[in-house]
Each structure stands twice: as structure tokens, then as C-alpha cells.
Structure 1
Amino acid sequence: MKKVFPLVIAILISIILYGNSINPSTNNISTTVFIISVFIFLSMLITVIIDRYTFKRKYFEKEKELLSLNSELEKSYKKIEKLNSSILKTLELSSFFATPKLMEKDFEKKVLDLSLEIIEPAENGSIFLFDKDNNAKMVYAKGYDYLKINELDLKTSELIIPENAKIISQIHNINANTMSEEKFEKFKKYGGDLKETLITPIAFNNEIFGIITLDINNGSEASFEDYHTKIMDYFGKMFAGFLKMLNFIKQEGKFHKDIALTLVKALEYYDNYTRGHSERVANWASLIAEKMGFDKQKIEHIYWAGVLHDIGKIFVPQSILNKAARLIPEEFEKIKLHPVKGEELINKVENMQYISKIIKHHHERYDGKGYPDGLSGENIPIESRILAVVDSFDAMTSERPYKTPLSKQQALEELKRMSWKQFDGNIVNIFYDIITNSEE
């Protein structure tokens, strides 16, 4: 059709020219040839003009289309860059699982800080955790006075808890229906004037631990996007997994401690002279470890080693343990087995192997003349050297049928006398200060 149109135009123009040029007196072949030439020229010219116009129009349309595609590609590229950054930061968050003893607050802060960094439109945020009584506590927040919010004693039923991460506009309009009027007014005051809120459930196998909220304030031109919900869903599941693991560790730790205390109680019934001894040794050993700058985990280890240090005596005949007179050499050899037996017993309890080693060496001497392995100096575990000092001090100051107890001052002087022989002198000095200062 496009090729026919210029042809028709050319024919019409040629007919007009031909009509104007016809002269009955001069009708000849040259006039006809001229008209045909004009016709061909006009046809070609009009075709070229129309083709050029069509080409330009298509070119500009394609150029516009390419510019639009380029703009979309740039947007997609930036979104991919953001997602890659999110993945890297999420992997950074995952590394926290390598330290299960991490305090919850550190992990909560990390989760919220990274959430606000990755979900760029978000200006403020908070984390609520729920307890078994359906109380909702804001454990960490940015942009809010969460201490004031916690004074409201919020319940889980008063908060919005979606099944998956969800973007909600003007969330306070919904909060007004879930809280009492008085509580809502305070909550709105402390919670700010919000345009959009991205709420993410912290859930694991249908167990809800809490929620993460990210907010955009009214007046902002920013908005959340759908892919933000996918990122936060992953964060929510990761956080829930961490809390589940932490709860398991706590329960497992409680189980181990219950076993330890049961064994100590059994030993106290078996050996009349151990009542209260293990607890005193554990407390003093913990104080020394604290003074020496041990970390929390090491202090905990030495405490439980103190509680269990004599547990191997269960394998020693009761007649020897409760003998009123001094032991003969053969009986003392049996007593010397109790650190090894204690180590064998505790070593079989999962996650208590380190404690078992402390127990095994608490009767070693600094000069190498102790038992069971004759270790000396710093070859003896530092925790065992601490137990050696406080164990001997408590034995010297305790009532025994075969000896008169020493006063605290006399016992301290004996520790000083045996420094760098039986005991680590540095530990003796620290313990001396602890006992002296506690009496002032």
C-alpha cells in the first residue's frame, strides 16, 4: 500500500501536467516522453520522501524504546546490586551462629541494624519478643524510646502479627482498634507518625517468638517494595532459628547443671565431710577467676569444676572417706584415685570434657610433686591451679575428726609459705586479697 500511494500521486500530477500541455496543433512524441519522465521522477521523489519520513519515525520510536529499556535495565541492575549486598550482609549475620553463647541482645542489635541498612527506605525500627504469658517486650529499637513503650505492658493480642512479612500503611489506624484508648494514645506518641510499616514475624515451625518492625515516617517520599518483604522473611526465620537454638542450649545447660548438683548431693550423703565444701570452693574459685579477668565462659567452667572437683570420691570406699584417724599409705593411694575417677565420670557428659580436665589436675603441685600426672608450673591448667589453692584453704579451715581447723589467717599464711612449691604464688596473692578484703 505504501508503494502504491506515491504512484497514484505521481499519476495524478502527471495527468494534470499532461492535460495542461496538450495542444492539438503540437501533439507529438516528445511531449509524451516528457510527461512520462516527469511521472517517473515524481514517483521516485515522493517515494524517497515518504520512506525517509517513515524511517525517521521508526528510528525515533526505536530510540525511545531503547532509552526506556536502558532505564529499566539500570533500575534492574541497581536492584540486583542491592540484593547482592543484602545476601553478603545476611551471610555476615549467619556467622553469629558460630557463637551460640552470644547474648540475645547482641544478636537483636545486629539483626535490626542490618535490617535498617539493607531495607533502605526504613528510617526507624524495633524488635518485640514474646514470653509464655503473651507479654510483648520491645527488646531493641532505633528511633523510639523503648523503655517508655515497655511501660505500657503490651500484650501480643494488641500487636499486628502477620503470617509473613507484610507492608502496612498508616498502621496506627489498626492499632487504634487493638488497644484501649489511653494505651493507644501513649503508644502513638512514643511510636511516631508513621506512613508505612514493614512487619516481619519471628517464627519457627508455627512457634511465634516476636516481630520485627521497620517504619517510614509520614512526609517521606520513600516506600517499601515487594522484594523487601522477601528479605525480611528470611531475616525473621533466621532470628527465630537462633532463638530456638539458644533456648535449646539453655535447657541443655540446665539439664547438665541438674545432673551435677544431683551428683554432688549424692556425694554429700556418701562423704560426711564434703557438705558445703564443694560450693565454697566453687564460689572462691569464681572470684579468683573474675579478678584475673577470665571471660564469662571460663568463669562458668571453673565454677562447675569447683562444684564437681571431688565427685570421683564416690569410687573411694566410704570407710576410708569417713575415717576418723589419719590415713595409712595404702588408703591414701586409693584417695589419690578420685581426680582420675572424677575426670572419667564427667568426661562422659556431653560438653563437659573441658571441665573434666580441670578436675583431673586439681591435686597437681607447682613443684611437680602432686598427682595424678606430676605436672608442674604452668603445665598445670590455670583453672586447676586455682582450685588447688581454694580447695586446700577450705580443707585447712574445716572441722575434721583427726585435726583442729586453722583460722583463716593461719590458713592464708600456710598458703603463702607453700607458694611456688605446692601452689602458684600469683593465685595465692589474689586469693589472699579476696579473703582479707572480705573481712574488712
Structure 2
Amino acid sequence: MKKVALLVIVTFSVITTYGSIKSYNNLNISSGTMIAILIMIISLSIFLTLIIDRKTLKKRYIEKENELKHLNTELEETNIELESSYKKIEKLNSSILKILELSSFFSAPKLMERDFEKKVLDLALEIIEPAENGAIYLFDENNNAKMVFAKGYDYEKINELNLKKNDLIIPEKAEIIKDIHKINKNKMSPKKFAAFIKLGGNLKETLITPISFNNELFGIITLDIENNSPLKNYEDYHTKIMDYFGKTFAGFLKMLNFIKQEGKFHKDIALTLVKTLEYYDNYTRGHSERVANWASLIAEKMNLDKRKIEQIYWAGILHDIGKIFVPQSILNKAGKLSPEEFEKIKLHPTKGEELLKKVDGMEEISKIIRHHHERYDGKGYPDGLRGKNIPIESRILAVVDSFDAMISERPYKRSLTKDEAIYQLKRMTMKQFDGEVVRTFIDIIDNFNIK
């Protein structure tokens, strides 16, 4: 507005000056001089306008500069918040990936390992970075709370306190608790609390996670920060991670219970079938146990994994179970078998497979049994498999099954001595038997009480 007003005044002045000059022609002012005067007045007006513009622009520049500084401060603060959020998201993603890796660890054989709880707790402490120590408590049907593993605590001494489920804090979902011992004091007896706090240390924060699956509570995981760690604290996203972790762990504990119950059921069935076969076939008595024990020792010596060792043991126990489909008169015949009778005997591996593959969890064992009479040169039965195409478990069974048959007395043949049987194994290596299996068996055979 000031600029417009100034321009109006200057314009009016120019017009007035021009009129005045024109009315005083007697002053004898030339037209050139008059134009020069007008130019000076216009220049002055432009100069004044520029001065006003400069001050206005400077003021606006300062205002904009302050505004930009304020925006820059806000952007820096937002950037810090975004970086913090990004780091949290990155940690959350990393934690989820590690928990997903946990799923591959929670396979049936690994669930049975002794250090299973240790590996679970180590992973929890790795995922929740502020945590320094921790423990896993599992509850039994009598509401006892057993500390199955701990880091930073003597869990054997803590278990001597005979803690009950009601002695512990059990939240519905993962929760951060400060100065947990104040709460524990109200839950435990004075004597038990005094012993527990002595073993439990001086804690700043505890992250407690229930191990629950479909409303079934298995126990809790506790992750602790000690009082001498002022810079360490839990955040809300840690509880979200542990909620997921606790549910994952609980799901696999549920599976472990099922595996144990199902495994016991399967073993009971297997032993019952073997006892039935022993009454049916006199030769089988004791044979299956020897084959199972020797085969599992060979598998262990050959560094097969624990799952394969267990499978080969049960395959050894059940390898002749198909003989219950063979007439008893043939099985217990005193003399040599006729070709027709031998063909019926040869059916027992496939019959055993057919019987066991219908039982959940026995599918792989049934395949081992099917192939335990294959030969390394491909001349065995039922499928004529050759060399490494025969499952390693079946190749092991073939060696120990034949060895036990050679050293056993039969009505139609005498038993061989240990040395004679070893000679036959060596003679038939790479024909009937896998050479590596034979060598491994010979290396450990001195541990057996065989004459």
C-alpha cells in the first residue's frame, strides 16, 4: 500500500511540475531542461520505491528464514522419530524372522534334545536386547513351577524351594513389571521369599511372558534387567515380540506332549506285536532285540542323526513283523524250505510295510523294513535295489540281521562262531552287504559278548 501511495504522489508531483513549468514560459526554460527535471523526479520516485521494496523484502526474508528454521527443526525432530521408529520396525522384523527360524528348530527330534530349553531361552535373550538374565518355568498337573533352565541364576537351588504356580506372577499377556520382588513378597511365604530374593538378584525390570496355547498355560518366561543397568529399559514393542514368542513356544510344547504320548502308544503297539510274533515264530525270540541294538550302535558310529538312530532301532525291533502273515508251519519247519515255501517267506518285508505304514508316524520305519533284504549287488528282494539306492538304515539291518542268523542255532544248520560269521560278512562285502557298514560293524563287534 505504501508503494502505491508513493507512486500516486510522485505521479501527481510530476504532472503538477509539468503544468507549472508550462505556465511559466517567460522563465525561458528549454524543453530539454524540462525533460531532465521530469526524469530526475521519476528517478527519485523509483529510488524511493526500491528502498521501500528492499526493506519490505528484507523483513519478509527474515520472516521466511525464521519460518524455515522452525520447519527445519520440526523436520529434524520428525526425522529422529522416524529413525527411531525404523530401528524399532527393523528390530521387530529381525525378531519375527528369528522366531520363524525357531519353527524350523522345533522339529520332533530337536524337541527331544536335552538342551532344548537352553536354546529357547538363548533365542529369547538374543531377540530382546535389553534383557540380561532370564528363566523358563514350566508347570505340571500338580501346579508345581519348575525352573527348567535359567541364565544368571542357579536354577537347581531355586527348584529346591519347591515353587508353586501361585507363587509366581502370571500375566494374561507379556507385561513389563518394575521391582518385581515387591509383588513376589505378597505372593510367597516370608521364608520362601527370603530364599528366593537371595537367589533372584536385585532387579530393575522384568518382562514376564505366559507360555499359553488355546487357553492352556504351560508356564512363563522371565527376562530381567538388573538394577545396575541404568541405561537399559524395556519398550512396548518388546512385549509384542514376546507375546508372539510365547505363543509359538507354547504351540510346540503342545506338540511335544502329543509326540511323547503318541510315541509311547506306538512303542506299546510295537512291543505287543513283537511279543505276538515271538509266540508265533520260535526263532524270532531275542533276535529282534539283538538286531535293533546292534543296528542302532552302527548308526551311531556312522554319525547318523538322532532321529535316524531311533528309527533304525524300531525298524530292528519290527523288521520281521510281516512274518505273522506267513504260515507257522513254514516258519518253524525243522528242515530246509522248498522254493515255494521260500517265496512265501520272501513276502514278509512287504507285508511288514503294509502293516506299519497305516500307523501314523511309522511310514519311514515301514520303508526301512521293506528293503532290509535288498542286496548291494541288486539281487535282493522285494525291489532289487542296488548299492546306495538302498536306504542306509536298510543296509545296516541287512548286515546285523544276517550276522545274527549266522550265529544262531537252527534245526537244519549249526551256528557259526563269531569269527566264522565275520569271515562271511567280509566275503559277501559289495555283493550282499555295504562295505562301509560291514567295516563299522566289525570295529564295534568286540563290545558284544559273542563267542
TM-score band by shorter chain is 0.7 to 0.9
Equivalent-residue separation in structure 2 for 1:372 and 1:232 (angstroms): 53
CA distance 1:121–1:329, shift in 2 (3 Å): closer
Q: Deviations over 1:158-180 (max 9, x none)?
A: 21111111222211122223333
Contact 2:330 2:337 in 1 (8 A): yes
| 1:57, distance to aligned residue in structure 2 (A) | 9.3
Q: Deviations over 1:116-153 (max 9, x none)?
A: 34434333222222223323222333333333323333
Is it true that 1:191 corresponds to 2:211 in the alignment?
no
CA distance 1:76–1:186, shift in 2 (3 Å): farther
Find the counterpart in structure 2 of residue 77 from structure 1.
83
Contact 2:326 2:344 in 1 (8 A): yes
Paired residue secondary structure (1:102): helix
Contact 2:399 2:438 in 1 (8 A): yes
Q: Deviations over 1:339-393 (max 9, x none)?
A: 1222222233333332222212212223333222333333332222211111122
Matched to 2:275, the amino acid is K
Equivalent-residue separation in structure 2 for 1:333 and 1:283 (angstroms): 28
Matched to 2:121, the amino acid is L
Find the counterpart in structure 1 of residue 345 from structure 2.
335
Paired residue secondary structure (2:142): coil
Match of 1:300 among 310, 316, 333: 310
Equivalent-residue separation in structure 1 for 2:71 and 2:388 (angstroms): 77
Is it true that 1:216 corresponds to 2:222 in the alignment?
no
Equivalent-residue separation in structure 2 for 1:277 and 1:175 (angstroms): 58
CA distance 1:232–1:359, shift in 2 (3 Å): same
Match of 1:124 among 133, 138, 142: 133
Match of 1:267 among 234, 253, 277: 277
CA distance 1:141–1:55, shift in 2 (3 Å): farther
Equivalent-residue separation in structure 1 for 2:325 and 2:180 (angstroms): 66
Gap regions ≥5 residues in structure 2: 1-54
Q: Deviations over 1:75-118 (max 9, x none)?
A: 35313421332223222222332334323666644543443344
| 1:210, distance to aligned residue in structure 2 (A) | 1.2
Find the counterpart in structure 1 of residue 389 from structure 2.
379
| 1:62, distance to aligned residue in structure 2 (A) | 8.8
The CA RMSD measured in Å over matched residues stands at 3.1
Is it true that 1:91 corresponds to 2:100 in the alignment?
no
Match of 1:177 among 180, 186, 195: 186
For residues 45-84 of structure 1, the aligned pairs below 5 Å read 67=73, 70-71=76-77, 73-84=79-90
Paired residue secondary structure (1:148): helix
| 1:316, distance to aligned residue in structure 2 (A) | 0.9
Find the counterpart in structure 1 of residue 446 from structure 2.
436
How many residues end up aligned between the 2 structures? 394
Is it true that 1:145 corresponds to 2:151 in the alignment?
no
Name the % identity.
68
Find the counterpart in structure 2 of residue 101 from structure 1.
109
Contact 2:95 2:241 in 1 (8 A): no
Find the counterpart in structure 1 of residue 29 from structure 2.
none
Equivalent-residue separation in structure 1 for 2:75 and 2:374 (angstroms): 78
Matched to 1:384, the amino acid is S
Equivalent-residue separation in structure 2 for 1:53 and 1:313 (angstroms): 105
Stretch of structure 1 that moved more, 60-69 or 168-177: 60-69
Contact 1:123 1:214 in 2 (8 A): yes
Contact 2:132 2:226 in 1 (8 A): yes
Contact 1:366 1:422 in 2 (8 A): yes
Paired residue secondary structure (1:211): strand
Paired residue secondary structure (2:431): coil
Contact 2:295 2:397 in 1 (8 A): yes
Find the counterpart in structure 2 of residue 279 from structure 1.
289
Equivalent-residue separation in structure 1 for 2:262 and 2:142 (angstroms): 23
Find the counterpart in structure 1 of residue 50 from structure 2.
none
CA distance 1:308–1:238, shift in 2 (3 Å): same
CA distance 1:57–1:145, shift in 2 (3 Å): farther
Matched to 1:81, the amino acid is K
| 1:283, distance to aligned residue in structure 2 (A) | 0.7
| 1:192, distance to aligned residue in structure 2 (A) | 1.2
Equivalent-residue separation in structure 1 for 2:402 and 2:123 (angstroms): 51
Match of 2:368 among 358, 361, 371: 358
Stretch of structure 1 that moved more, 162-171 or 116-125: 116-125
Equivalent-residue separation in structure 2 for 1:162 and 1:238 (angstroms): 17
Matched to 1:135, the amino acid is N
Matched to 2:439, the amino acid is N
CA distance 1:153–1:379, shift in 2 (3 Å): same
Equivalent-residue separation in structure 1 for 2:90 and 2:262 (angstroms): 37
Matched to 2:281, the amino acid is D
Contact 1:198 1:214 in 2 (8 A): yes
| 1:331, distance to aligned residue in structure 2 (A) | 0.8
Stretch of structure 1 that moved more, 211-220 or 106-115: 106-115
Find the counterpart in structure 1 of residue 164 from structure 2.
155
For residues 221-240 of structure 1, the aligned pairs below 5 Å read 221-240=231-250
CA distance 1:232–1:76, shift in 2 (3 Å): farther
Match of 1:367 among 377, 401, 410: 377
CA distance 1:86–1:141, shift in 2 (3 Å): farther
Contact 2:99 2:245 in 1 (8 A): no
| 1:309, distance to aligned residue in structure 2 (A) | 0.8
Matched to 2:259, the amino acid is I
Paired residue secondary structure (2:225): strand
Match of 1:168 among 167, 171, 177: 177
Matched to 1:101, the amino acid is P
Moved segments of 4+, more than 6 Å: 52-62
CA distance 1:303–1:176, shift in 2 (3 Å): same
Equivalent-residue separation in structure 1 for 2:184 and 2:78 (angstroms): 38
Paired residue secondary structure (2:138): strand
Equivalent-residue separation in structure 1 for 2:322 and 2:242 (angstroms): 52
Equivalent-residue separation in structure 2 for 1:412 and 1:119 (angstroms): 58
The TM-score normalised by the length of structure 1 is: 0.79
Equivalent-residue separation in structure 2 for 1:97 and 1:118 (angstroms): 15
CA distance 1:389–1:114, shift in 2 (3 Å): closer
Match of 2:253 among 203, 225, 243: 243
